[in-house]
Structure formats: C-alpha cells, structure tokens
C-alpha cells in the first residue's frame, strides 16, 4: 500500500533514532510525573480547558519558547555544517529538511505564537476589559495552532520533514520532485494553525473595537493595542490568501490537480505570487506588535510620553497598506521586466519612510527623558541600531537591479535575520521580561537578564554580519556545502561562533527563569516598573476577572495620570461579574484536527473522513449547547481583592 | 564627479582589505551589467551607512545626556506632543533619499534589462541555457553546438541568454558578469550579459532546487573573438552529435562532468517559447528584444493567447 511505502523512517540517521528515543522517554516521563503527582485533574481543569485569555497567553508563550529551542537547534546544526568547507556532518537531504523546518518553525511556530502570547495577555488588560470578545474561540485558536505545531514537529520522526524550503516553491514542492510526505506535513500544519490565526484576527479586532474601557477612544488606545489592531487587520486580509494557496498546493499533491505543476497548464509563478501576497504582510504581522512593545517599554523607562503618538499610529496604518503592495520584491528575477520591477522597487522603498518615522519617534522619546536601563529597556536600546542595519540593507535589496545580485544569497539571509531578530525576537524577550511580573507575580533577575541581552545581541552581529560579505562574495543560500577554493570558509566560521554565542544567550534566559522562580521576591506590588498604562493598574498576578471594577480613563496613559494627576480609575462599587465557563471542546477539536491533518498527510482516507465528520459534530454540538457562563459574586470579589492586597 | 570616484575607490579598497586580498565577487565586475550593479551597491552602501551613523549618533547622545543617573532626583520629564518641524524633517529627508534611490533603481533596472551599454551596435550571441536536475545545458543555435556544465563566450560581444528549466525553478547566475534570473519550465527568460575582459568566472544555479543544488555550478570562460571561433571549429570537428537518446540520458537527475556535442537539443526538444510556451508573463522589453530576434516567436505567442 502506498501508505506503508511512505511510512518508513524518513532519514535513517543516528541523530533521528536518538531523537525518537528522546521523544519517547520524555513522553513517558511526563505521563509518569503527572500520574505520580496526581496532576491530571489540575492540568485538565485549569489549563487544557481554560478560556481565560491570560492562561491562553501563557500557553502560547510556553509553546513559543519550546519552538525557539527546536528552531535554534536546527540553526546550530546548519551553522555547524557550514562552519568548514566540505563538512560531512549532514548530507544534502538532511540539510534541506533542517533549513526548511527551521524556517517554518521560527516564523509560524515561534514568532507567531510569541506575539499571540503577548497580544492575548496584554491587550484585554490594556484596554480595561475582562477577556477577549470570544473566549472560547480564543481557546480553539490556540489549540489549532498547537495541533499544527505538533504536526510539523512529528514530521522528522514519522515520514520525513518538508524539504523544499519554508517558501515551498513549486514545482520543487510537487510530488515529482518532493516525493516524501514532508511537504504534505507543511501544507496541513500551516493550514491548521493558519485557521487558528485567522480566528484570532477576528477575535482581537472585535475585542479592541468593542470592549475598550469607558473613555478610551481610538486615539487614546495604548500603542501596543494600536499595533495589535493593525496587525490583526493585516491577518484578516492576508491569511485567507495562504489558506487558498495551501489548499491548491494540497490538491496538487493529493489529488493530482495541476494548479502549480507545470505540466497541463499549471503555473509555478502563481504559487510564488500567492505565497508572498501572504508572506510579505506576514512579516509586518510579526513586526508591528513588536514595535508596539518597544513603544510601551521605551516610554515607560524614559519616564516620558511616547513622542509623536499620532504619527506612530499613522505610520503603522501606512505600513499595513504598503505591505500588500510589495510582494513582487521577493522575485524581481522572475522575468517580469523592468517596468513591473520598478513599480515594486519604489513601493518597497516607500516603506522605509514610515519605518524611519517610528525610529526617530523612539529616539525623540528618549529626548528630555529620565532614562532607566532595565533589561527590557536594554533590549530596546540594542534593537535600535541593529534593526537599523537590517532595515537599510532592506532598502538596498529593494533596488531591483542590485537585487539581481543579492537575490538567493547569504546577503538576503543576513538582512532578514538582522531585521527579524532585533525586531521580533528582541521585542519578545523584552516583552517577556517586562510582563513576567504580571504573568507570574515575580520579577526575572535583572543582572542575568542584562548579561543575556548583551550576549544575544553581540552574538547576533557576529552571526549575521559575515553573511553580508559571503553573500556579496557569491555564496548562495541553502547550499549544504561549499568547496575550500570559494573562500567562504572564514565567514561561515565566524557565523558559527556567533550562532553558538546566541545559544549561550538563550540558555542564560532559561537559567534566569529557573533562578528567579526559585529565589526572586514575591513581594513586588502591582506596578514594579512604575509604568503608565492600564495593565499595571490591577494586581500581580492578575485575578481571573482582570479588574474588580472596570476602569475609566481619560488618556492613553491611564495609570500614569492616576498616579500623577490624581485621576480616579476605579469608580463605583463591586458588582457581580459574568465569566464564561471552561470548555473541553476546543482542546478536543484541536486533537481531532491533528488526527485529521495526520490522516491526510499519509492519504489515509477513512480516518480522514471520520475526523472530518468529528470536526463538524463538534461544531454542531456547540451550536446546540446552552452554556451562559457563571457569575462571580460580590463576596468572592471582596475576598480575592483583600487577599491580593494583603499579598502585596 | 571626481569626488564620487575618490569615495567609491576608497570604499572599494576598504572592502578589498577586509576580505584579505581578493575583492568580493559581486564587487569585482567583469562586464557592463555587473558594473552597473556594483556601482549601485556601493553607492547605496555609502548612503545607508550615513543613515546608520546618524541613528547611532542620536542614540548615543540621548543615552548620555538623559540617563536618570545623571539627573537630579526631582527632574520630571515634560509631556511633549511632537513638533511639526521635527516630523517634517524626519519624513522629508528619508523621502528625498528614497526618491533618489528610486530614480537610480529604475534607471539601472532598464539598463540591465537591455543590451549592455557600449554593445548596442553589435550583434548579440544567443545562447540557450537550460537546467535539468542538477546540470546546465548550453545550446549555441548559431554555431550549432551544445555544451554541458561549462560555457565559453567571446568578449566584446553582447550575449543573450535564453533561460528555461527541465524541472524546478533554477536561477542562472554569473556574479562577475551580472545578476541572476530565473529559469522556469514553462517559459523562456532573457538575460543580457557581456564580458569586457577575458577570464574564468564562477557560474551557478542560485535558486534551491533539491538535493544536488549545492553542486549545481558551471565554469564560464570568456575569451577573445578568434579564440572563441577556434574553439567552435574544434568542437565541430571533434565532438559527437547530440542525439535524442543521448539528451534524454543527460536529463536524468544526477551530476555529470563537462561534455560537448555538435548540434543542439533545440530541434527535437523545443524550448517553452512561442507555441511551446506554457504561459507568458514576460515584459515589454523582452518582447521587444525577441521581436528583433530572427529565431524567436514570442510575439506570436501573445497573439495565440
Ligand atoms: C538563533 C539564531 C539563528 C541562526 C544561527 C539562524 C541561521 C539560519 C541559517 C543558517 C539559515 C539557512 C540559510 C540558508 O542556507 O538559506 C536560516 C534560514 C532561515 N531562518 Fe534562521 N537562524 C536563526 C534564527 C532565526 C529566527 C529567530 C528566525 C525567524 C523568526 C529565522 C528565520 C529563518 C528563515 C525564514 C529562514 C529561511 C529558511 C529557508 O531558506 O527556507 N531564523 N537561518
Ligand atoms: Cu517582502
Ligand atoms: Cu514564468
């Protein structure tokens, strides 16, 4: 049967057998541990069935951190392979699978959930809401993301990983040239988690538009909320394109349609176009919330309002529009001619202007401020020059004629890592450190945090700057090896050292979490950073209902004005609070979606049909369900509030 | 414009020093197209460095001047809304830079998409370059010969590469002669290059195409006209003819060394252009270019569609 011939262990190498054993042992250890400590009930009641936006945010965060290490391990393997010429550590097929999964994992399963974590956790608090607009849908979004992530992650032990790059260009990704089920995994993993993302988009937009605290007009929203709103609007426009492209790709692979295969009139460029119509906006989905985080942090630790609030908002709106008008810059070399290239060259460069406005606004926020350098602030300060290097090389890439030389080379790899690592990863680490006390009720150690920030940013430069040179010296990306005579050896060796340094930096962060969990003080009050916006107006950690009384604000810096101008945020008395009930359905649907994806990856039609039915049954059941949630009584609120204040 | 050249050459020297002794390939052009691109690259590096330095300087200034530890305890940062003048400058200067670079970019793009500068009056040599997993086939229709994995070209004559692929998208790239362009299985792309000086250059497929991608390279040798003609004569006398069976064998996935044949595969395996094309999204200028070619029928294809 077709199934069995494809179900073989994909890549018979000791590393993969070792990982299989390691995965098996970890699973056994987790199950045994949960049983021994009798935590199954707790896990189910408090986490797997939760609809609380804060817990969902934390689950996104944990997943993102795990995926950072998965993607990081891939990165180290790649850099080790390339460190010296003609290395035999990995063979071509293995290297191809590794860079493909690295790309997918980092963008879809690390960076995306990281911003989802912060958006989920922070946005409702920042706008003074009790939860997101559709809490249950939110849980479903998370479990769909998680199902997709797990699906991609089992690929390397069951059937083979995708090996056509994270861009998965056809016809290379078609059955003819990618025979293993790897690309099927890609199609289904992205599809499932993409559906989750689309739902989050709708959920977040509704939340932000409908659930703001009294007094918070649109132009009084904190900057992170603004950036989340814009990012989610991009999601709602961009992700349907991905859905359709993946569907067409899946049909090509499973049902022999010919959308993208070049026999029978398919068009390979159609894939490239659809992919990047989603793919370019996708990078702004990641970067805009990161910009939002930086705005919050820089203004908090300059002890000053954000400079040019209106132009910050305006530039984000302009960026979001332009992000849909530039996708062709990813294939200037496809032969569309000078006129088309010129148009896209100009639209691409135009993005530099609003981006520049933001950078100058941050710089002017520092101006006349009272700058305190904490760990989150250190990341933000290190972000500015590093990101600028990444950004200006982007302008260089946008010059279409010159891009004929940069395209597909290490220069490009250097550019986008220099944008995405300071832009997104630093922001996430800064946000993690900044919001950690809100999430867990204690602070991360500042000293270890700062060392980690320095190690990571210096290593980033060491790892990626050499690639600008090796790119200009003719090193194409995605080459698993090169010969001594090319002279690329020295650059790649330096890169390897940098990558190793980054690994040390990330390990320091893990150590910091461990260290602070054990030793940090739990007595930090509700506003340890002396911050400015509403999320710091409630307790640490945040009670289930967020705010005992819905706050009323008069500016984008509600808490700051309460502290400095004596505004009263919480007016009136406690009233009973309506909260949604937990539900197991989102988790179960996630599990069914996982099985559904797995079935289709291997073309197992019967389980495929059964799981499809299962999905619809879940949806039907939900529509007949009568669950109106529950109320938290005034007495309960009083008790919680007294206890929280006491803990302070 | 003397000053520009002083700056350009000093930057160039720095790059050269940085890389030991050999200059970076892309910045060591051997033909007019690569030269246009290298000039653009160096100019944009200079401009962009200025921006980086400005941002860097502003950041350092702010950090030194406004550190909390340097200020009195009771200093209260003011609430500043933003100033129209400052924002006009922050938008204005980048807009000017972007306009300048846009003009450069458009100009250069038209340049690299047409016959190389200084070669307008010479008849181009047409070479069909097709990739198959993981090899390159070069057909010289005019000379009626074909090579695998190596390329001989005459200097001082514009070359028009006609690019296509048997399989995944590949990208034809000879860094020292000019930037790359995709070779795809359903259409033919045109790339205009020329070599000013004789020499040996690296050529490769730059677009990931599966297992054998890393080794998907070819050697390019540019030589004076008479040497090139001698070589053609020699091939005609010594090489075996390219038969259909032989070509089918060559197309099988895998690596091969270099080989040479008389005749080309263009007759029995026509390239995807004209009535053999899958679709056509080529630009106006490649249309113009092909209209000039005697053995081209791309304009026809448009009428067919
Ligand atoms: C931890 C440090 C990292 C290192 C050392 C690293 C290294 C690499 C390397 C060597 C490649 C392959 C280049 C090639 O041969 O084409 C690559 C590709 C890539 N990386 Fe990273 N990377 C790192 C972090 C990240 C992060 C944080 C992201 C995204 C958030 C990311 C996204 C990507 C993407 C999208 C690709 C392209 C994959 C493809 O070619 O299909 N990387 N990286
Ligand atoms: Cu883009
Ligand atoms: Cu095409």
Distance to chain B for A30, nearest Cα, Å: 38
Backbone angles phi, psi at B259, to 5 degrees: -150, 165
Render pLDDT for B264-277 as a digit per residue (tens, 0 to 9). Answer: 999 899 898 877 76
Q: What is the pLDDT of residue A6?
A: 58
- Give the nearest chain B residue to A305 (CA atoms): B79
Closest CA to A584 of A31, A45, A120: A45
Which residues of chain A neighbour B112 with C-beta distances below 8 Å?
Answer: 401, 404
Backbone angles phi, psi at A443, to 5 degrees: -100, 150
Q: What is the pLDDT of residue A567?
A: 81
Q: Do B171 and A310 touch (CB under 8 A)?
A: no
- Kindly report the protein residue whose alpha carbon is nearest to atom 43 of ligand 1: A75
CA distance A453 to A604: 47
- Kindly report the protein residue whose alpha carbon is nearest to atom 9 of ligand 1: A75
Q: What is the pLDDT of residue B143?
A: 93
Comparing CB atoms, the residue among A305, A337, A407 nearest residue B79 is A305
Does residue A509 contact residue A72 with C-beta atoms inside 8 Å?
Answer: no
HEC assignment per residue over chain B = CHHHHHHHHHHHHHHHHHCCCCCCHHHCCCCHHHHHHHHHHHHHHHHHHHHHHHHHHHHHHHHHHCEHHHCCCCCCCCCCCCCHHHHHHHHHHHHHHHHHHHHHHHHHHHHHCCCCCCCCCCCCEEEEEEEECCEEEEEECCCCEEEECEEEEECCCCEEEEEEEECCCEEEEECCCEEEEEEECCECEEEEECCCCCEEEEEEECCCCCCCHHHCEEEEEEECHHHHHHHHHHHHHHCEECCHHHHHHHHCCCCCCCEEEECCCCCCCCCCCHHHCCCCCCCHHHHHHHHHCCCCCHHHHHHHC
Render pLDDT for B285-295 as a digit per residue (tens, 0 to 9). Answer: 444 444 444 33
Q: What is the pLDDT of residue A68?
A: 95
Query: What is residue A409's three-state secondary structure?
Result: strand
The tokens of A45 are what?
A: 């009641």
The tokens of B249 are what?
A: 């064998």
β-strands B217-223, B170-174: how paired?
A: unpaired
Which of A590-625 are b and which e, b meaning 16 or more Cβ less than 10 Å from the residue's Cβ?
bbbbbbbbbbbbbbbeeebeebeebeeebeeeeeee
Does residue B209 contact residue B135 with C-beta atoms inside 8 Å?
Answer: no
Distance to chain A for B148, nearest Cα, Å: 21
The tokens of B108 are what?
A: 């250069």
Report which bound ligand comes closest to the CA of A322. Answer: 2
Q: Do A372 and B68 touch (CB under 8 A)?
A: yes
Render pLDDT for B145-202 as a digit per residue (tens, 0 to 9). Answer: 999 999 999 999 999 999 999 989 999 999 999 999 999 998 899 999 999 999 999 9
Look over chain B and give the mean of its residue pLDDT values, rounded to a whole number: 85
C-alpha to C-alpha distances, A356 to A28, A353, A604, B94, nearest whole angstrom: 51, 5, 51, 7
Give me the residues of chain A with pLDDT under 70, please: 1-12, 646-648
Closest CA to B137 of B113, B156, B162: B162
CA distance B289 to B294: 10
Q: Do A404 and B181 touch (CB under 8 A)?
A: yes
DSSP-assigned letter for residue A12: -
Report which bound ligand comes closest to the CA of B169. Answer: 3
Q: What is the pLDDT of residue A405?
A: 96
Instruction: List alpha helices for A473-604, DSSP H.
Output: 489-519, 558-564, 585-601
Report which bound ligand comes closest to the CA of A284. Answer: 2
How much is the pTM? 0.92
The interaxial angle of helices A53-82 and A112-126, nearest 10 deg, is 150
Q: What is the pLDDT of residue B158?
A: 95
Render pLDDT for B29-46 as a digit per residue (tens, 0 to 9). Answer: 999 999 999 999 999 999
User: For residue B83, how many other CB atoms are within 10 A of its CB?
Assistant: 12
- Give the nearest chain A residue to B283 (CA atoms): A337
Distance to chain A for B246, nearest Cα, Å: 22
The tokens of A508 are what?
A: 């320091």
Q: Do A338 and B106 touch (CB under 8 A)?
A: yes
Query: What is residue A581's three-state secondary structure?
Result: coil
- Kindly report the protein residue whose alpha carbon is nearest to atom 34 of ligand 1: A103
Backbone angles phi, psi at B254, to 5 degrees: 140, 175
Render pLDDT for A130-159 as a digit per residue (tens, 0 to 9). Answer: 999 999 999 999 999 999 999 999 998 888
Q: What is the pLDDT of residue A21?
A: 81
The tokens of A147 are what?
A: 């199902």
Q: What separation in Å is there between the alpha carbon of B132 and the centre of ligand 1? A: 28
Tell me the β-bridge partners of A630. Answer: A579
Angle at B289 between CA B202 and CA B30, to 5 degrees: 25
Distance to chain B for A398, nearest Cα, Å: 8
- Give the nearest chain B residue to A560 (CA atoms): B79
CA distance A441 to A460: 31
CA distance B195 to B224: 10
HEC assignment per residue over A551-567 = CCCCCCCHHHHHHHCCC
Which of B9-43 are b and which e, b meaning 16 or more Cβ less than 10 Å from the residue's Cβ?
eebbeebbeebeeebbbbbbbbbbbbbbbbbbbbb
Asked if residue B302 has pLDDT above 60, the reply is no
DSSP-assigned letter for residue A258: -
- Give the nearest chain A residue to B28 (CA atoms): A473
Beta-sheet strand order (sheet of B217-223): B150-154, B217-223, B199-205, B170-174, B178-183
The tokens of A8 are what?
A: 């073989």
Q: What separation in Å is there between the alpha carbon of A159 and the centre of ligand 3? A: 32
Q: What is the pLDDT of residue A434?
A: 96
Residue A424 alpha carbon, nearest atom of ligand 1? 30
ipTM of this predicted complex?
A: 0.90
Backbone angles phi, psi at A283, to 5 degrees: -65, -25
């Amino acid at each position: 049967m077709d199934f069995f011939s494809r179900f073989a262990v994909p890549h018979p190498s000791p590393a993969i057998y070792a990982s299989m054993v390691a995965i098996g042992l970890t699973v056994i250890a987790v199950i045994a541990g949960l049983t021994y400590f009798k935590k199954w009930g707790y896990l189910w009641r408090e986490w797997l069935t939760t609809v609380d936006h804060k817990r969902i945010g934390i689950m996104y965060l944990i997943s993102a951190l795990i995926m950072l290490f998965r993607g990081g391990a891939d990165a180290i393997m790649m850099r080790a392979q390339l460190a010296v010429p003609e290395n035999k550590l990995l063979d071509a097929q293995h290297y191809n699978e590794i860079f493909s999964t690295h790309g997918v994992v980092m963008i879809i399963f690390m960076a995306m959930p990281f911003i989802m974590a912060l958006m989920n956790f922070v946005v409702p608090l920042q706008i003074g809401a009790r939860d997101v607009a559709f809490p249950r849908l939110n849980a479903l979004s998370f479990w769909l993301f998680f199902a997709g992530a797990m699906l991609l992650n089992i690929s390397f032990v069951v059937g083979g990983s995708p090996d056509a790059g994270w861009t998965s260009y056809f016809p290379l990704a078609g059955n003819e040239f990618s025979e293993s089920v790897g690309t099927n995994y890609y199609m289904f993993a992205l599809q499932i988690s993409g559906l989750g993302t689309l739902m989050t988009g709708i959920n977040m937009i509704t939340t932000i538009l409908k659930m703001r605290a009294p007094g918070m007009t649109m132009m009084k929203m904190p900057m992170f909320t603004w950036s989340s709103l814009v990012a989610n609007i991009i999601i709602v426009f961009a992700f349907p394109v991905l859905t359709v492209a993946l569907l067409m790709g899946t049909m090509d692979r499973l049902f022999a349609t010919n959308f993208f295969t070049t026999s029978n009139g398919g068009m390979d460029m159609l894939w490239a176009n659809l992919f990047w119509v989603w793919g370019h906006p996708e990078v702004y989905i990641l970067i805009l919330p990161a910009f939002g985080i930086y705005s919050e942090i820089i203004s908090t630790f300059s002890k000053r309002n954000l400079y040019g609030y209106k132009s910050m908002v305006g530039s984000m709106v302009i960026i979001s529009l332009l992000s849909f008008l530039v996708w062709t810059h990813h294939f200037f070399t496809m032969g569309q001619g000078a006129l088309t290239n010129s148009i896209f060259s100009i639209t691409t460069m135009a993005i530099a202007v609003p981006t520049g406005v933001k950078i100058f606004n941050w710089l002017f926020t520092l101006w006349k401020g009272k700058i305190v350098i904490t760990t989150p602030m250190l990341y933000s300060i290190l972000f500015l020059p590093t990101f600028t290097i990444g950004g200006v090389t982007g302008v260089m890439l946008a010059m279409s004629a010159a891009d004929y030389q940069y395209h597909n080379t290490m220069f490009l790899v250097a550019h986008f890592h220099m944008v995405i690592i300071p832009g997104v990863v630093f922001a996430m680490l800064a946000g993690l450190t900044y919001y950690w006390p809100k999430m867990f009720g204690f602070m991360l150690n500042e000293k270890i945090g700062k060392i980690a920030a320095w190690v990571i940013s210096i290593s980033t430069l060491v790892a990626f700057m050499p690639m600008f040179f090796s790119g200009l010296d003719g090193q194409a990306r995605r080459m698993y090896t090169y010969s001594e005579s090319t002279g690329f050896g020295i650059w790649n060796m330096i890169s390897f050292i940098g990558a190793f340094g980054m690994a040390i930096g990330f390990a320091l962060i893990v150590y910091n979490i461990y260290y602070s969990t054990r030793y940090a003080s739990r007595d930090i009050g509700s506003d340890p950073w002396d911050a400015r916006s509403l999320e710091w107006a409630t307790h640490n950690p945040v009670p289930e209902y967020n705010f005992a009384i819905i706050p009323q604000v008069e500016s984008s810096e509600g808490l700051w004005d309460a502290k400095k101008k004596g505004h009263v945020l919480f007016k009136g008395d406690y009233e009973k609070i309506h909260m949604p009930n937990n539900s197991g359905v989102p988790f179960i649907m996630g599990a069914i979606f996982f099985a559904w994806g797995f079935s289709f990856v291997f073309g197992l039609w019967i389980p495929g049909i059964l799981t499809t039915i299962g999905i619809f049954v879940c949806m039907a059941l939900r529509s007949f369900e009568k669950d109106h949630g529950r109320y938290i009584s005034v007495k309960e609120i009083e008790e919680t509030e007294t206890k929280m204040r006491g803990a302070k | 414009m003397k000053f520009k050249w002083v700056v350009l050459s000093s930057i160039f020297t720095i790059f050269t020093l940085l890389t030991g002794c050999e200059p970076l390939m892309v910045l060591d052009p051997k033909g007019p197209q690569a030269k246009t691109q290298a000039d653009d690259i160096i100019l944009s590096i200079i401009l962009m460095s200025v921006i980086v330095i400005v941002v860097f300087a502003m950041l350092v200034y702010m950090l030194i001047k406004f550190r909390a530890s340097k200020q009195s305890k009771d200093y209260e940062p003011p609430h500043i809304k933003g100033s129209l003048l400052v924002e006009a400058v922050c938008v204005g200067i980048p807009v000017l830079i972007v306009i300048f670079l846009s003009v450069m970019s458009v100009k250069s793009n038209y340049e690299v998409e047409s016959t190389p500068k200084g070669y307008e009056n010479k008849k181009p040599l047409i070479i069909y370059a097709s990739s198959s997993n993981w090899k390159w086939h070069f057909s010289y229709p005019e000379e009626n010969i074909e090579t695998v994995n190596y390329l001989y070209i005459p200097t001082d004559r514009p070359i028009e590469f006609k690019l296509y692929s048997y399989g995944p998208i590949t990208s034809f790239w000879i860094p020292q002669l000019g930037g790359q362009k995709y070779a795809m299985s359903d259409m033919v792309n045109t790339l205009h290059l020329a070599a000013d000086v004789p020499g040996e250059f690296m050529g490769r497929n730059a677009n990931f195409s599966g297992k054998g991608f890393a080794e998907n390279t070819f050697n390019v040798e540019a030589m004076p006209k008479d040497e090139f003609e001698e070589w053609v004569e020699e091939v005609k006398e010594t090489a075996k003819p390219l038969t259909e069976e032989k070509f089918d064998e060559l197309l099988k996935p895998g690596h091969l060394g270099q080989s040479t044949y008389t005749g080309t595969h263009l007759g029995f395996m026509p390239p995807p252009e004209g009535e053999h094309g899958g679709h056509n999204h080529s630009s106006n200028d490649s249309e113009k270019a092909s209209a000039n070619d005697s053995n081209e029928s791309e304009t026809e294809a448009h009428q067919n569609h």
